[in-house]
Structure 1
């Protein structure tokens, strides 16, 4: 019995005993502190046992409270998700700091300022930068007035004249180029290509279409003049982007095509891209609500807030809720044949629309104020590339979608749109992957995706 109490004493520390000592005889506490008198008599007084029993009771109560607290905050993730242990840890940490703390910050000083909390939380792990490989020079440079991060393979590591222009994700509000050092080092080692990562300005400091124009300027500058400085072939420019970066990639390619400059881009890779911010009731959104609602992965509330900030529309809780209910789309747009032709859920695989996962959404009544604010943007392909027209001649595309991602369906629908214009497109779907996997360190699934991207780019290299 005494050995058990001593063990619990070592686990609990002096704190609990000090608390008890304040209400009982302090002299009794001494025999249970570190440095216990091992020559103590074999018998233990009733008072000493009472103190020890109270310590154990308090210790167990604290443990029980922590278990209840953690259980209450636990949100189960889909059983087939990859990198489960790491995802559970990071998801919980991000949810506590970014969502719960962010809600408090938003309540006190407004939604724009919670972005800075999100940036701190997301960026904290990247403050501990690792050195770049010896075969790679990494430097910062402005290209046509836009900050960029250059990855320049040296010597035999430069196996290609291809230039990869990388556009990072983060909902137009978060992330920085160096957060992608890990996956880009991997991609460069497999391709030998030079990489230019665009450090476009973020919302809410700037709004749409500022990032679009920055990305377009960089691509034009590389093709027209910077290629000689970088030592790359201007006919081998490939644009890669993930999430909001995938949106900017698709938009940039479409803008160049409309300007008669489609030949500036040899290929595009869209990794779980944003292609349509008008439908928050698609099967992939419904799957979120059924399978992992409230998780710290990209969720409808986070994304709706980012869309509003990007467009410079008040990101109030009310507006976020309205967007999540699709009440930001004008009735005439929703009823149009052009809209329905590219957003029809029946274009998606039947397996995504089974009765246990999906219900046909009801047509919402638009909010007059919010839908009026969205009206100029809804079918603008510079925001929603899913509404692009006359896309024949667009750069060949690889589109990556993840099974555990609210953006899954719009990536698939975009591949259908490109196919309708005879654009060469390859769709790669990773059912166990999740949104943000490109930033998951030492992920086997991420490694597979990067390997597939490198293989897809081989003809261009």
Structure 2
């Protein structure tokens, strides 16, 4: 895996955007700087979800259950490739979607691939979205699910060895925040955190990170839409100055779980992900950073059907085999 301190290539040296991603981006309507229509965005995502019998990869176990937590009932979907295993390491997966969209259905294929390639049981959390849910509801629900897993270890066949948190984009933001809550609450059971192109700084001043300018437009997610897309979260109590909202602003990152940080070469959020990985490393956290140079933001959910990007799940499996 690449060294964390590897220098980012210049634009002249970068691999070109993958041609299949480039074709898809060309067909995508131009981004705006006004908040999206919530219902329309959610419906569009749902329309792309395949029928249940056509979802890949096929697994031995896919089950919808309700986690009864100390903050209320939280829907989750449980996946396992081998339904007959005696015990499982567990990955709690948190989908992306700018805090206002996405679901266990829209990211069902991501959870399936994680279960298939890692051999772990994946528990995907259908957390409450903005603007209906105020901050920090989603964080509390995800932490509640973690505690529910520990409390129901026998029924869930948890092996008590691996309890990983994984998320993409806004989901990775929530994962990072939950690791803070867990540490501050003396909950020591999280063994790994997996952050796919994380949104760890909701201050979108373009001067903060070069990638906000370098990848500002033409690659799918555009810099000018970032503030608008996250506005539903911010306007419902999520202050970008709060480390639970912008994890990179937390001063003390010591003692957090072993981390895998995945970034994409053509992502406006690339450099904040790299900076967060560096800060974790400087705080003594064991960090692996892998950059998929020809990918854009969202590639884990949108382009993992391309084999070189599906490799992100194999990379995750390799990471989880490391001792926490």
Class of the TM-score when normalised by the shorter of the 2 chains: 0.7 to 0.9
Q: Measured at CA, do residues 179 and 87 of structure 1 come closer, stay the same or move farther in structure 2, by a change above 3 Å?
A: farther
Match of 1:364 in 2: none
Match of 1:13 in 2: none
SS at 1:247 equivalent: helix
Match of 2:196 in 1: 271
Matched, 1:394 2:256: yes
Match of 1:57 in 2: none
C-alpha separation in 1, matches of 2:323 and 2:122 = 14
C-alpha separation in 2, matches of 1:229 and 1:308 = 39
SS at 1:95 equivalent: coil
* TM-score calculated relative to the size of structure 2: 0.85
C-alpha separation in 2, matches of 1:264 and 1:445 = 32
Q: Measured at CA, do residues 390 and 443 of structure 1 come closer, stay the same or move farther in structure 2, by a change above 3 Å?
A: same
C-alpha separation in 2, matches of 1:197 and 1:184 = 7
Deviation at 1:456, TM superposition (A): 0.6
Matched, 1:307 2:220: no
The count of corresponding residues between Structure 1 and Structure 2 is 303
Match of 1:8 in 2: none
Matched, 1:192 2:113: no
Q: Measured at CA, do residues 94 and 460 of structure 1 come closer, stay the same or move farther in structure 2, by a change above 3 Å?
A: farther
Equivalent residue in structure 2 for 1:450, among 291, 297, 313? 313
SS at 1:427 equivalent: strand
Deviation at 1:128, TM superposition (A): 3.6
C-alpha separation in 2, matches of 1:424 and 1:199 = 29
1:353-398, Cα deviation, whole Å (9 max, x unpaired): xxxxxxxxxxxxxxxxxxxx98xx2431110111123332111101
SS at 1:149 equivalent: strand
Cα RMSD between the aligned structures? 2.5
Equivalent residue in structure 1 for 2:82, among 143, 150, 154? 154
Which contiguous aligned blocks of 4+ residues in structure 1 show a shift greater than 6 angstroms? none
Return the structure number with greater helix share: 1
C-alpha separation in 2, matches of 1:79 and 1:216 = 39
Larger Rg: 1
SS at 1:176 equivalent: coil
Which residues in structure 2 correspond to 1:34-45 (within 5 Å)? none
* TM-score calculated relative to the size of structure 1: 0.61
Equivalent residue in structure 1 for 2:149, among 197, 205, 222? 222
Equivalent residue in structure 1 for 2:214, among 274, 287, 293? 287
C-alpha separation in 2, matches of 1:378 and 1:134 = 40
Match of 1:379 in 2: 241
Match of 2:296 in 1: 434
Q: Determine if contact 2:172/2:195 at 8 Å carries over to the other structure.
A: yes
1:263-302, Cα deviation, whole Å (9 max, x unpaired): 220011100001111143120011123xxx2x47111232
Q: Measured at CA, do residues 275 and 264 of structure 1 come closer, stay the same or move farther in structure 2, by a change above 3 Å?
A: same
Q: Which runs of 5+ in 1 are unaligned?
A: 1-77, 314-372
C-alpha separation in 2, matches of 1:229 and 1:220 = 14
Q: Measured at CA, do residues 244 and 163 of structure 1 come closer, stay the same or move farther in structure 2, by a change above 3 Å?
A: same
Q: Measured at CA, do residues 93 and 203 of structure 1 come closer, stay the same or move farther in structure 2, by a change above 3 Å?
A: farther
